[in-house]
Homo-oligomer: A and B are copies of this chain.
Amino acid sequence: MSKVITPRGEDAARWYTDVVLRSELADYSPVKGCMVIRPQGYALWERIQGALDARFKETGHQNAYFPLFIPESFLHKEKAHVEGFSPELAVVTIGGGKELEEKLVVRPTSETIMYSMFAKWIRSYRDLPLLLNQWSNVVRWEMRTRLFLRTTEFLWQEGHTAHATEPEAEAETLKILDLYYDFAHNQMALPVLKGLKSEQEKFAGALRTYCIEALMQDGKALQAGTSHNLGQNFSKVFDVKFQNREGGTEHVWQTSWGVSTRLIGALVLGHGDDAGLILPPALAPTQIVVVPIWKTDEEKSTVRQTVEKLIDSLAPHVRIHADLREEVSPGFKFNEWELKGVPLRIELGPRDLAKGQVMVASRLDRRKEPVPLGELVVKLPELLAQFQRSLYDRALKFRNDNTRPAGTYSEFKEQIETLGGFFEAYWCRNSQCETKIKEETKATIRCIPLDGQDGEGACLFCGSLSRTRVILARAY
């Protein structure tokens, strides 16, 4: 089974595709650039949705649903926005057998269609803040696609809020950034940097874009979520106004923010190995698989009875599955569940039973330990929590080991090629330097980190004294 995966050291891109396809997270579809999310992948997405949705609701956001189609004229209202998205649009020109009078764009994001409604709904400061979120599909016509990481259609959530003041909008933008950060750390087991995007990298139509950036095991960065302070850019063009407490009229201050099914790609690239996926227990649809072992019919009967009792007693506490297939061997099952990234495996055969124990194997370090049957209900949640921590610690160590000062520009150019990873540097905030670096090294400014470690140094490209510390990397 594991032979079907190309070793990462041999070809990292093929390794990724092999893992996604063989673990049945997704498959290619007959529609160019679109993929099928298979049950294994969708169950993971449901876990991601569940964890985020609970956080959104706890912080006062409500879900809603807006149309898939956007009149073409709407996109043209905000200049930067249309320039950013125009090259990527899928356009409906025929409806019900007739040419449409106004073409309809399949939403690449929903600012324009949503804010046309906000203009209708918001009248007074009492209607603010308006805190909405939408779980939906979006379409961006991509020339070069990769499963989960860049697909023409993808699933995501997009939050859209309106506030009475600029500080409130900024506070919301940062609150969501923290929420994403917390989710990445605690659920995804991925350390991420919080930072601000450069003008060049910010969202088309935003005042400021904040992001969380993760480092993948191949040394490339992956933007895992963005939170935009939109200022009044959209409220002015869509005329979203409210009467303030003093009776005057003002435009609202807005934010938008999102994460997508790309997070599944981040889990693969961030944690996987040559045997396949490694899923964090907090998100794994199946946390523990039980593989029974028997030779004789008598053994089979005893072992199966124990497995059934085990599942009954453990199912209320952990997400556990018993693999009772008879047409494949235990070894085949071990490989298959390793490939699918299930954190813990319980092996249960006649010899273990005789000792009143099972063997528990970890997908992370491959270690096995015996656990007495009676202790499983206490021990398994502990092992899962420990797995979650170890997975995070491993990813953090990797990131720390692969974050380097950029040194001189020529050192940087060499190291980004040979070592990859995050590079710390200073930047003069001139977009020409940024463009040159990108052209010459394929590295981009991932973010201006919000970790408060300010200072000053020479701009990586032009050498002029700069106070802006940035993180550079090649990115997905």
Q: Which of A68, A103, A126 counts the most chain B CB atoms within 10 A?
A: A68
Q: Determine whether the beta carbon of B116 is less than 8 Å from that of A30.
A: yes
Q: Are A92 and B95 in contact (CB under 8 A)?
A: no
User: Given A34-B68, A36-B64, A67-B153, A27 and B120 touching (CB < 8 A)?
Assistant: yes
CB pair A155–B74 under 8 Å, yes or no, is no
Cα(A455)–Cα(B34), bound, Å: 53
Asked whether A155 and B29 contact (CB < 8 A) given A97-B86, A137-B137, the answer is no
Q: Is A407 part of the binding interface, using a Cβ–Cβ cutoff of 8 Å?
A: no
Q: Shortest beta-carbon distance, A415 to chain B, in Å? A: 35
The contact string, 1 if C-beta is below 8 Å from chain B, for chain A 111-129, is 0010011001100001000
Q: How far is the CB of A458 from chain B (nearest CB, A)?
A: 41
| A90 engages B94 (CB within 8 Å) | yes
Chain B residues with CB under 8 A of A330: none
Determine if B95 and A90 form an interchain contact, defined as CB atoms under 8 angstroms apart. yes
Known contacts A36-B117, A64-B38; decide if A31 and B87 are in contact (CB<8 Å): no
**B37 pairs with A65, CB closer than 8 A:** yes
Asked if B30 and A113 sit within 8 Å, CB to CB, the answer is yes
CA distance A395 to B274 in the complex (A): 60
Q: Does A169 belong to the interface (CB within 8 Å)?
A: no
Greatest chain B CB density within 10 A among A29, A65, A88, A117 is at: A65
| B95 and A141 contact, CB distance less than 8 A | yes
**Are A43 and B69 CB-contacts (below 8 A) given A30-B113, A36-B117?**
no
> Does B27 contact A67, Cβ atoms closer than 8 Å?
no
From DSSP, what is the main secondary structure of chain A's interface residues?
mixed
Cα of A97 to Cα of B82 in the assembled complex, Å: 13
Q: Give the residues in chain B near A45, CB-CB below 8 Å.
A: 65
> Which residues in B have their C-beta under 8 angstroms from that of A126?
327
Q: Of A30, A43, A93, A97, which is in contact with the most chain B CB atoms at under 10 Å from its CB?
A: A30
Q: Say yes or no: is A132 at the interface (Cβ < 8 Å to chain B).
A: yes
* Distance between A234 CB and nearest chain B CB, rounded to angstroms: 15
Could you say which of B92, B96, B103, B152 contacts A143, with CB atoms under 8 Å apart?
B96
| A5: interface (CB < 8 Å) | no
- CB pair A31–B155 under 8 Å, yes or no, is no
- A106 close to B (CB within 8 Å): yes
Cβ of A136 within 8 Å of any chain B Cβ, yes or no, is yes
A80 at the interface (CB under 8 A from B): no
**Contact A74-B30, Cβ < 8 Å, known A95-B91, A327-B126:** yes
| A285 CB to nearest chain B CB (Å) | 10
- The minimal Cβ–Cβ distance linking A40 to chain B, given in whole angstroms, is 9
Chain B residues within an 8 Å CB radius of A143? 96
Q: How far is the CB of A260 from chain B (nearest CB, A)?
A: 13
Indicate if the CB atoms of B68 and A153 lie closer than 8 Å: yes
> Which of A338-368 touch B at CB < 8 Å?
none
Smallest CB-CB separation from A62: which chain B residue? B39
Q: Is A183 an interface residue (CB 8 A)?
A: no
**Bound Cα distance from A121 to B42, whole angstroms:** 17
CA of A93 to CA of B92, assembled, Å: 6
Residues of B near A152 (CB, < 8 A) are 95
Neighbour of A141 across the interface among B90, B96, B327, CB < 8 A: B96
Any chain B CB within 8 A of the CB of A89? Answer: yes
CB proximity of A35 to chain B, nearest CB, Å: 7
Q: Is A332 an interface residue (CB 8 A)?
A: no
A-B contact pairs, 12 of them (CB 8 A): A29-B66, A30-B71, A30-B113, A34-B69, A43-B62, A45-B65, A68-B137, A89-B95, A89-B97, A91-B95, A93-B94, A137-B137
- Further contacts, 17 of them, CB under 8 A, given A42-B64, A68-B106, A90-B95: A29-B66, A31-B69, A35-B67, A36-B67, A37-B64, A37-B66, A39-B62, A39-B132, A41-B64, A42-B62, A42-B65, A67-B153, A87-B97, A89-B97, A90-B96, A96-B141, A106-B106
